[in-house]
Amino acid sequence: MDLTIIQGINNRIIFDSRGDQTVETKIETKVAKGVSSCPAGASKSSYEVQNIPTIGLRKALDNFNEIKKKLIGMDSLNQKEVDEFLLKADGTQNLSNLGAAIVLSTSIANLKAAANSLKIPYFKKIKDKDFYKLPVPLGNIIGGGKHAKGKSIDIQEILVFCTNANDIFEAILANILVYKKVAEILASKDPNFGGKNDENAWITTIGIKKSLEVIKEAIKYVRDKEGFNFKIGLDIAASSLWNEKKKVYEYRTEAIVLNEEQQLKFISDLIEEYDIWYIEDPFHENSFSYFSELLNRYKERLIVGDDLYASNVLRLKEGIKNKSTNGIIIKPNQVGCLTKLFETIEYAQNNNIIPIVSHRSGETEDTFIAHLATAIESPLLKTGTVGGERISKLNELIRISEFLKEKANINDLIRKFN
Ligand code: PGA
Ligand code: ZN
């Protein structure tokens, strides 16, 4: 009785993996507590809510301290009531008064407090089922764009995922083997090689196509040696390339300038030449029609909207109307609270749009997204390949699989592509 009632709430400013400030929140009930923190993006969509409040974290927390007492006495089981309180306390559409840093960390801390009070894992609190499917990690291997500050390839991410791993341990290991082999190959091909970007992906100046060749070579090596099969993914993050005034995509380090039709051809050629199965944000965030063109050509592959949707259900509805994508990136801090996020996920799944849960480039040690991906059957979890704040999520998947034993399997959607 009353075990799940909120008795205390505490916020503090902490640092993310880039060294930027964010918020960690602790919510306590009579018997347990929940702690969560909020990550931050660098290549953000203009449709995301604000992460950091306009008046700054310290002042916003002072304001929040005045009103947060009202959460005490609420039932942590009632996530909707807690989230509605938070949204009302902020009072703006884009969370400019409190920011996702405060609102999301509190929202997730509440879910964790509820789960811990009931002594159930977070994924079970998100969705109570008898059987779960673990996501396959989609690992960032070579990174560029805004995450490398112009010191690497122009596109943001070249990713891989393993299609024939027997369990989550193997799936994580497979990506790491490719990551390590890519470093070896790059060391022999790129005299400047050695650096990593914000997500711990390798950076290189050899260009997009040569980087893809390196990835292919590493994949072949790992396949021949260990028997793991892979598919390649790309996050173009095309909004960062888009010049709205000139209506062209600018690949600055390779000095390539493409109009929209040329971008469609460039992306299609990459898909065919390198058998790219996963492609995220190939066009800028308002280009619903070009996404549709691409999906129309490659219905079998995953065409995914990140900046296009910003995890926002209204944006997703626009995408469904236009038949723009068959996948949507799910990043909790893009919308700022769990209730809104769950609404987007449910709408996506009801309309056969595959949700792909993702980290941000500025991460904390919070492992919540591993639970989220497991709960909603996200076939892939985009959370890097190595690095403390990335590996923490991957290691959490290992713990989840151990907990579930035979009640979990790797997502079979991925096996289809083996
Ligand atoms: P971000 O990048 O976290 O810097 O926004 C990740 C992505 O675009 O997928
Ligand atoms: Zn993205």
From the CA of 144, the nearest ligand is 1
pLDDT of residue 108: 98
pLDDT of residue 413: 76
Q: What is the mean pLDDT of residues 168-179?
A: 97
Ligand 1 centroid, distance to 63 Cα (angstroms): 29
Question: Over 90: is that where the pLDDT of 218 sits?
Answer: yes
Q: What is the mean pLDDT of residues 95-124?
A: 98
Instruction: Say if residues 258 and 283 touch (Cβ distance below 8 Å).
Output: no
Ligand 2 centroid, distance to 399 Cα (angstroms): 27
Residue with tokens 């083997």: 177
pLDDT digits (tens, 9 = 90+) for 192-215: 999 999 999 999 999 999 999 999
Q: Please pick, among 146, 181, 231, 331, the residue that the annotation labels catalytic.
A: 331
Query: Helix or strand or coil: residue 12?
Result: strand
Q: What is the mean pLDDT of the chain?
A: 97
Q: What is the mean pLDDT of residues 255-265?
A: 98
pLDDT digits (tens, 9 = 90+) for 287-344: 999 999 999 999 999 999 999 999 999 999 999 999 999 999 999 999 999 999 999 9
pLDDT of residue 415: 73
pLDDT of residue 378: 97
199 catalytically annotated? yes
Please tell me the total number of residues recorded for the chain in this structure: 418
pTM of the model: 0.98
The number of the ligand 1 atom at minimal distance from the alpha carbon of 281 is 8
Residue 58: CA atoms inside 13 Å, Cβ hemisphere, count?
0
Q: Please pick, among 24, 48, 199, 396, the residue that the annotation labels catalytic.
A: 199
pLDDT of residue 1: 64
Ligand 2 centroid, distance to 391 Cα (angstroms): 19
Question: Over 80: is that where the pLDDT of 147 sits?
Answer: yes
Q: If we measure between CA atoms, which residue out of 412, 158, 154 comes closest to residue 276?
A: 158
181 catalytically annotated? no
The ligand 1 site (C-beta within 6 Å) comprises 41-44, 156, 235, 237, 306, 358, 360-361
Query: Helix or strand or coil: residue 167?
Result: coil
pLDDT band at 24 (very low <50, low <70, confident <90, very high): very high
Ligand 2 centroid, distance to 100 Cα (angstroms): 18
Residue 344: CA atoms inside 13 Å, Cβ hemisphere, count?
30
The number of the ligand 1 atom at minimal distance from the alpha carbon of 156 is 8
pLDDT band at 80 (very low <50, low <70, confident <90, very high): very high
State how far the Cα of 205 lies from the Cα of 48, in Å rounded to an integer. Answer: 31
Look at ligand 1, atom 1, and give the residue with the nearest C-alpha: 41
